[in-house]
Amino acid sequence: MSSILKNSLNIFKTDMKTIIHSPFVLLVLIVIILIPSVYALVNIDANLNPYSHTDQMEIAVVNNDNGYLTDGRNVNIGENIVDGLKENKGFGWEFVNYTTGIEGLETGKYYSMIEIPNNFSENVYSIEEGNNTKRSKLIFWNNEKVNPISPRITNSGLDQVQTGINEKISETIAGIVSTKLHDVGEKAKDNENDFIRIKTRLNQLNTAFNQLEPILEDQNISQNIPEEDLDKIENFISLIRTDTAKINSINYNDLTQLANIDPKNVEYYIQSPVTLEKQSLYPVNNYGDSVSPFYICLSLWVGSIVSLAMISNRVRRSEKDNIIMNKDKKEKYKLVSVFLGRMGLFIIINIFQSLVMSIGLIWLHIQISSTIIFLTTIIYIGLCMITILYSLVSAFGNVGKVIAIVLLVLQIPGSGGIYPVELMPQFFRTITSILPMTYAIKVFREVIAGISWNSYFYNLEILSLMVILVFIVAILFKGKIDKHSKVFEDKLKESGLF
Each domain of the chain, given as residue ranges in start order, spans 2-49+287-494, 55-184, 189-260
Cβ count within 10 A of residue 71: 7
pLDDT at position 459, please?
Answer: 94
Strand 112-116, strand 58-63: pairing: parallel
Q: Give me the long-range contacts of 276-279 (CB less than 8 A, separation at least 24).
A: none
* CA proximity to 382, closest of 33, 136, 97: 33
How many alpha carbons fall within 13 Å on the CB side of residue 344?
Answer: 17
pLDDT score, position 158: 65
pTM: 0.66
Alpha-carbon span 208 to 6, nearest angstrom: 127
Provide CB contacts within 8 A for 435, sequence distance 6+: 407, 410, 411, 414, 415
How many CA atoms lie within 13 Å of 278's alpha carbon, on the beta-carbon side?
Answer: 3
Domain 55-184 has CATH 3.40.50.460: no
Give the span between the Cα atoms of 62 and 104, in whole angstroms: 12
Strands (E), 314-436: 323-325, 332-334
| Those residues with Cβ within 8 angstroms of residue 13's Cβ, 6 or more apart along the chain or in another chain | none
* Cα dihedral 482→483→488→492 (10° resolution): 90
Dump strand ranges (E) for 26-131: 58-63, 68-70, 73-75, 92-95, 112-116
228/238 Cα distance (integer angstroms): 16
Tell me the HSE value of 323 on the side-chain side, using a 13 A CA sphere.
8
- pLDDT in 10s for each residue of the chain, 498 residues: 566 666 667 777 777 777 777 787 788 778 888 878 887 777 777 666 666 677 788 888 899 988 888 777 788 888 888 888 888 777 888 999 999 998 888 888 888 888 888 888 888 777 666 556 677 778 888 777 766 666 667 766 666 666 666 666 666 666 666 666 656 556 666 666 666 666 676 666 666 666 666 655 655 555 666 666 566 666 766 666 676 666 666 555 555 555 555 555 555 545 554 455 555 667 888 778 888 899 999 999 999 998 888 887 666 544 343 444 444 444 445 666 767 777 888 899 999 999 999 999 989 888 888 899 999 999 999 999 999 999 888 888 777 888 899 999 889 888 888 878 877 888 888 999 999 999 999 999 899 888 889 989 999 999 999 999 999 888 887 666 666 666 666 665 665 555
Burial class (CB in 10 A: 0-12, 13-18, 19+), 11: buried
Which residues is 112 bridged to in the sheet? 59, 142
Which CB contacts under 8 angstroms, 24+ apart, belong to 275-283? Answer: 282/449, 282/450, 283/449
Cα 30 from Cα 349, distance rounded (Å)? 9
d(CA 120, CA 141): 17
